[in-house]
Amino acid sequence: MKTKFNVGAAPAVLLASRLSGLRRGCWSRLGCLGSERGDDAVETALTIVLLLTLLFGILAFGHALYTYHFVANAARVATRWASVRGYSCKGLAGGCPAAASDVTTYVANVAGLGLNPAKLTVNTTWLPSPSTSFKPPCSTYSNYPGCVVQVQVVYNYNFLLPLLPSSSFNMQSTSQMVISQ
């Protein structure tokens, strides 16, 4: 025997079965293939891991920026301190005239919170005057007024978090100023 198919009714039945699947949350053409229980927990866990990684990365790089700010500030302030403690300095406390060891001690004292003074390296050099009209005796007296003092501060920085690079790198800043007294 031959079975007859009602061609006009098949699309309506097919459409009804698809719509009933969509109402239940099944987006497959074949209907619901499996249970979706637990999908929300997995998605939430992945999202939390991603957001926490992003948050801690922002905190770690913020701390690195904080550290660099204090390294640059220490170089600038130490240069200023050394520029007013030149060869003809009188009456100022704390090394007058300033020597390289005095500048190193000063930088260790002004280092910001969270910086380890043991990781600081300070290089102080006195350079000849850049002026062509006034030539101070910089070769005889390196810290004579009119000569230039240059302070370089280097800090050996390590990231705080284990996901970031574990090797240390040097943050450095250099500042120079003409000696005023």
Q: What is the pLDDT of residues 39-91, one digit of tens each?
A: 888 889 999 999 998 998 888 889 889 999 999 999 999 999 998 888 877 77
Measured distance CA(21)–CA(123) in Å, rounded: 74
pLDDT for 24 beyond 60: no
pLDDT attached to residue 129: 78
Average pLDDT over every residue of 81-102: 82
For 114-169, how does the pLDDT look when each residue is reduced to its tens digit (9 = 90+)?
Answer: 788 889 999 999 888 777 677 778 777 788 888 899 999 999 988 777 666 677 88
CA dihedral 148, 153, 154, 158 (to 10 degrees): -160
Model confidence at 34: pLDDT above 80: no
